[in-house]
Amino acid sequence: MASWDLSVTVEDLGPDAPALTLSVTSDLHVGGVILKLVEKTQMQLDWSDHALWWEQKQRWLLWTAWTLEKYGIHADAQLLFMPQHKPLRLGLPSGITLRLRTSFSSPVFNTVMCICRMLNIRHPEELSLLRPIEEKKKKKDKNSAEEIYDLTEVPLTSASRPCLYNGMPAHFADSEQMEAIYKMLSFTQPPPAPEVVAKQYRPASVVDKAHINGRWLDSSRCLMQQGIQENDKLWLRFKYFAFYDIEPKVCVYPCFCINV
């Protein structure tokens, strides 16, 4: 089978780095393409979280056993080799903003499940991600700077329920800073000042409400497919309100619950 050139941009080489050209055949599987890329970059990195993103088709090439022919990839394809997990700014309903690493390749439903698992939030099926309201540009105010709590160092876990240590997830007990952030999230935050509430956006008509509802992300598509980039801000909000009979005396979760 004749070989042809495939152009792949490696994100870790920098934004100004030229794309790498690989000599491939149509029967080469995606895993073989990744192996060629790693060998050509000659960089000693952990590539386990990296995957190929097809820019024109807006899809991840996650099935590494599939061949280029099966994916329909030809010489004109624009591929990007980058990590699947990237930092994201997440606004909680309590007004707190977190910066954490999350999956840009999984469906939004699975991404919300992973975020809630990391933060020890129960019933993640009630929550989803929402694009924030665009605020009008105002003069910079030093006192209005947004405080962001960095959780990018928290390791990602695939366990269905996090291991507990001293009543909190074990990954928050690695440092005093992480422990302080978790305890801060576990307690009810004071209500915002009346002037802050007065400045918050409120829909004035049915059209405004429809505009807000149109900002919900599609739960079946990943963040990259919906135009979300690294360090973008999203809101974690209640989308489906399911009411449970909560009885503190018979609660089976003897641990802190994040106050969202």
Instruction: Find the helix or strand (DSSP H, E) in which 117 lies.
Output: helix 108-119
Distance (Å, whole) CA 152 – CA 120: 16
In the chain, % helix, strand, coil (3-state, to 5) comes to 25, 25, 50
pLDDT at 59: 95
pLDDT at 196: 72
Q: Report pLDDT digits (tens) over 226-240.
A: 999 999 999 999 887
Which residue reads 């699975």 in tokens?
110
pLDDT at 244 over 70: no
pLDDT at 250 over 50: no
Q: Report pLDDT digits (tens) over 201-230.
A: 777 788 877 887 889 999 999 999 999 999
Q: Report pLDDT digits (tens) over 56-70.
A: 999 999 999 999 999
Residue type, 198: A
Phi, psi of 165 (to 5 degrees): -145, 115
Q: Are strands 59-61 and 148-150 parallel, antiparallel or unpaired?
A: unpaired
pLDDT at 44 over 70: yes
pLDDT at 80: 96
CA triple 109-190-89, angle to 5 deg: 35
Please tell me the pTM assigned to this model.
Answer: 0.81
More confident residue, 140 or 20: 20
pLDDT at 256 over 90: no
pLDDT at 253: 47
More confident residue, 241 or 36: 36
Longest CA–CA span in the chain (Å) reads 71
Q: Report pLDDT digits (tens) over 142-161.
A: 455 678 999 988 876 666 66
